[in-house]
Amino acid sequence: MPHCINSDICEGKGDCILACPVDAITLVDGEKNAKGTRWSFVDPDICIDCGACLAACPVNGAISDSWIEGAQKKNSK
Ligand code: SF4
């Protein structure tokens, strides 16, 4: 199961993007979450479930080690 970013908890720090060995994470451009910050998302088709993003993230609860349907948005529309 791929990892998943909780869009409304993510603060867009981007540490996960640097940590991911397969470039599965993208920072959303021009969108804001419930906290007023940008967020990232994991492409589940690329993620190899290594856990590096979860270890690197400084925001508690922003990344889940399993897929949560509806938690991760690619954009706000
Ligand atoms: S679990 Fe690993 S491969 Fe998947 S998004 Fe996180 S760092 Fe990338």
The predicted-structure confidence for 32-53, as pLDDT tens digits, reads as follows 888 888 889 999 999 999 999 9
For 31-37, which contacts have Cβ atoms below 8 Å and span 24 or more sequence positions? 31/75, 31/76, 32/76, 33/7, 33/8, 33/9, 33/73, 33/76, 34/8, 35/8, 35/9, 35/11, 37/10, 37/11, 37/12
pLDDT at 76: 57
**Residues lining ligand 1, Cβ inside 6 A:** 2-3, 19-20, 22, 24-25, 42, 47-53
- List average pLDDT for each run of 10 residues in the chain, which is 77 residues long: 91 94 92 86 95 96 93 76
pLDDT at 65: 93
CATH fold of 1-60 reads: Alpha-Beta Plaits (3.30.70)
pLDDT at 1: 82
pLDDT at 77: 53
**Where in the chain are the domains?**
1-60
Distance from residue 32's CA to the centre of ligand 1 (Å): 22
Distance from residue 76's CA to the centre of ligand 1 (Å): 22
